[in-house]
Structure 1
Amino acid sequence: MKKVYRAVTKDVAEDQLLNLEEKWGSKYPVVIESWQRNWEQLSQYFEYTEPIRKIIYTTNAVEGFHRQIRKVTKTKGAFTNDMSLLKLVYLATRNIEKKWTAPLHNWSLTIQQFYIKFGDRIPLAINANSTGASPSGIETSDRV
């Protein structure tokens, strides 16, 4: 799968998908058929530049968030009521959010690519003296 989603172009990805089918199609026919049936939607990803695609396939922010919530809730056993569960999830979320300030690798290049593609939808606060940016706040430097 990695060769499919890390392909340089959509055409190369299609070739890699065919290679994947040859190698794994008999063992995982449902998966391969699903990818082929939904290829038009899945391949929309290749309309973006490599820095944006890398953010998409490496970040998995929602999955990471869910994993951290499960880690907290599964060790607690039963909850006395829904409110006790909600309080635990709320407090866990507050702790998880503290880790969201770390800048992503090559974020400055990536945010520039986002701005080129979605300029009308992104408030840009990057300037020439910026030390970098993070996903939680575009600018990480107070310099002007």
Structure 2
Amino acid sequence: LEFVSWKERKAVAAALKAIYRATDADAGERALEAFAAGPWGGKYPAIAMAWRRNWAAVIPFFAFADDVRRIVYTTNAIEALNAKLRRAVRTRGHFPTDESAMKRLYLVLNLATKDWKMPPREWGMARAQLAILFEDRFTLA
């Protein structure tokens, strides 16, 4: 959405939902073509071009169930954690060694885990799907 003006972001994001909420890769590709042919695709052709350029990386996303996909494309928790890490580094300013920076990030991560009270609503079903798909690599934490 970096190509879109602030006033139109919600509407363009709503139009893009049809792509990543598609049932499979073919339906997603049809939704991408519909977006490109629609009014937003005409106004912002760079969005459809970016999706097409990265389509090979998007296709594996469709192999997962809806519950897993919902957890994957919801980045609020990741963005919040990244903000905490950036804030910790920015307030310090500089570090004498790389090891001191890693220690600071380690401590911030340990403090951040105390704030994680409740998992996202979809996590239970997503965890079950991941346990089925990756049974040899999946460990309960």
Match of 2:114 in 1: 98
Q: In the alignment, is the contact (CA less than 8 A) between 2:20 and 2:28 conserved in 1?
A: yes
State how far apart, in whole Å, the 2-side matches of 1:112 and 1:77 are.
41
Cα distance change, pair 72–39 in 1 and its aligned pair in 2 (3 A): same
Q: Deviations over 1:52-76 (max 9, x none)?
A: 11111114654432222113333x2
Unaligned ranges ≥5, structure 2: 1-15
TM-score (norm 2): 0.68
1:53-132 map, 5 Å: 53-59=69-75, 61-74=77-90, 76=91, 78-79=93-94, 81-82=96-97, 85-100=101-116, 102-123=118-139
* Amino acid aligned to 2:30: D
State how far apart, in whole Å, the 2-side matches of 1:114 and 1:52 are.
8
Match of 1:13 in 2: 28
* Amino acid aligned to 2:53: R
Q: Deviations over 1:22-53 (max 9, x none)?
A: 23334433332131133232121111111111
Unaligned ranges ≥5, structure 1: 126-136, 138-144
Q: With a CA cutoff of 8 Å and minimum separation of 6, indicate the structure with the bigger relative contact order.
A: 2
After TM superposition, the structure 1 stretch with the greater mean CA deviation from structure 2, 54-63 or 77-86, is 77-86
1:46 is aligned, of 62, 70, 75, to 62
TM-score (norm 1): 0.67
Deviation of 1:14 after TM superposition, in Å, equals 1.6
SS at match of 1:120: coil
SS at match of 1:65: helix
Deviation of 1:77 after TM superposition, in Å, equals 6.1
State how far apart, in whole Å, the 1-side matches of 2:92 and 2:123 are.
39
